[in-house]
Amino acid sequence: MGAVLAQATEADRLDPGGSSRNSSPRYPGAFFLYNRRMQDPGSTRPQRASSPDWQPGTRLAVGVLMVVLAALLLYRLRQLLTPVILAFLLAYILYPLVRRLEDRLRSSRGIAVGLVYLIILLLLGGTTTGIGIALSQLLAGFGEFLERISQQLPEFVDSLMVLQFQLGPLVIDLSSVEGLANSLTSAIAPLVSQTGTLLSDVAGATASFVGNALIVLVIGFYVLLNFERIRDWLIAAAPAPYQADARALLSGTGVIMQAFLRGQLILGLVVGAAMAVTMTILGVRYALGIGLIAGVLEFIPIFGALVTAIISVLVALFQGSNGWGLTPFGFALVVAGASILIQQIENNVLVPRIIGHSLDLNPLVVILALLAAGSLAGVVGLLLAAPAVATLKLAFSYLYWKTVGVQPALTHTPAGPSTARPSRLRRLWGRFRAGRRSKATPTPGSTPPT
């Protein structure tokens, strides 16, 4: 082989243009070994010699093998999937801020990303100050309190099963629903315990939490630096005739993620603040911690609000005395009513105006997706279940139309904020403002007041 390569090299040195040779190579065995460059008569740029196309069966076998190897690789590296996904989500949320800083300061992408990360580091550094230490102690105490509730909950439910209530001629015996109560307790107690453990880990900044946070920040930094390159690389990975479809699919996915992530972020801040203020007014212990949980769980549709309400009611039930002089059961009912009121305001007022119908998913589909994603991917699966299903809906609609031979319409334009008729109070306020403007504007020919 070395002799063949040497002879081919010497032949190219003596006759670099290939003028004394015919179109076929002199050394067929050295053609692929030496990978010689063929000259295009109309161009001075060297071009690589084309190789024969693979047969359809070969392409299918190699494609299946690549999918299997990729699945095995993802399975072996599944511990890193959570921080990588969170890093991409962080980069996607911060990308509009980075672009705005880049345009406003007329600076490079690196400077804009550095400024955003400096703000993040300053906020994280604020946790080491007095306020941050107080918040950490509050979260640690709240986590321990939830863990105690999870331990006392089965005994508390057993004590309720011996009670009987009489409503006129009707006698209600709670022991008849003992099986259902035990099933609910076995489902709620681990949930409360895991929430308390998570709060304790965040408050104590354990080594695993700090390590994952560092990985998320580092990966997110480089994703922000190369955001457009990653998008262009994904589009270029598709064959040339399908790159327009790939660009449209990425655009539709971006609209879905933008509507969900940024909308849920605004809802989380509003609902979390509302829960914290309401629980403080009612006198519920750890009101700030409940507000924090409400804001974070806002990213989980349907179940997030339910878990927040359950935790609020349990805290009110087990905290003992309250400033209203109510029994623990009465106080828990008041807290439950306040939680339901906040959820109703969110669903009927905030969600239509902030998110609208961007995901366009049936609630049953969302519930099934949450159950499946929670069992497969844990907390990250719960957070991303709704946008993932909406993205899969977009992809499968494209595959369906291509399968039936119809050109798909890939312009994913979500229904924005609700265009329903404004409320009566808003209409009255609009008439009042219009009347004031008409009085302030003088009519033609009238004498202005002196």
Contact (Cβ atoms closer than 8 angstroms) between residue 275 and residue 294: yes
In angstroms, rounded to a whole number, what is the distance separating the alpha carbons of residues 322 and 119? 40
36: Cα separation from own chain's centroid: 50
* More confident position, 225 or 443: 225
- End-to-end distance of the chain based on CA atoms, in angstroms? 107
pLDDT of residue 130: 58
Burial profile 409-431: b = 16 or more Cβ within 10 angstroms, e = fewer: ebebebeeeeeeeeeeeeeeeee
pLDDT of residue 36: 40
Whether the pLDDT of residue 99 is over 60: the answer is yes
In angstroms, rounded to a whole number, what is the distance separating the alpha carbons of residues 176 and 160? 11
- The two tokens of residue 176 are 């008849």
CB neighbours of 361 closer than 8 A, spacing ≥ 6? Answer: 386, 389, 390, 393
* More confident position, 374 or 206: 374
* Maximum distance among all Cα pairs of the chain, rounded to whole angstroms: 114
* More confident position, 119 or 413: 119
In angstroms, rounded to a whole number, what is the distance separating the alpha carbons of residues 288 and 273? 9
* Residues 382, 388, 394: CA angle, nearest 5 degrees: 160
Q: Is 239 exposed, middle or buried (0-12, 13-18, 19+ CB in 10 A)?
A: exposed
- pLDDT 10s digits, 34-73: 344 444 445 455 555 577 888 888 888 998 999 999 989 9
Name 164's bridge partners.
Answer: 173
- pLDDT 10s digits, 258-291: 778 878 888 899 999 999 999 999 999 999 999 9
- pLDDT 10s digits, 287-306: 999 999 999 888 887 788 88
In angstroms, rounded to a whole number, what is the distance separating the alpha carbons of residues 17 and 15? 6
Which H helix or E strand runs over 173? Answer: strand 170-173
- The two tokens of residue 232 are 């262009």
| Pairing relationship of beta strands 46-48 and 164-167 according to DSSP bridges | unpaired
- pLDDT 10s digits, 148-175: 888 888 888 888 777 776 666 777 777 7
Residue 223 in 3-state DSSP?
Answer: helix
Among all chains, which residue has been given the structure tokens 């959820």? Answer: 343
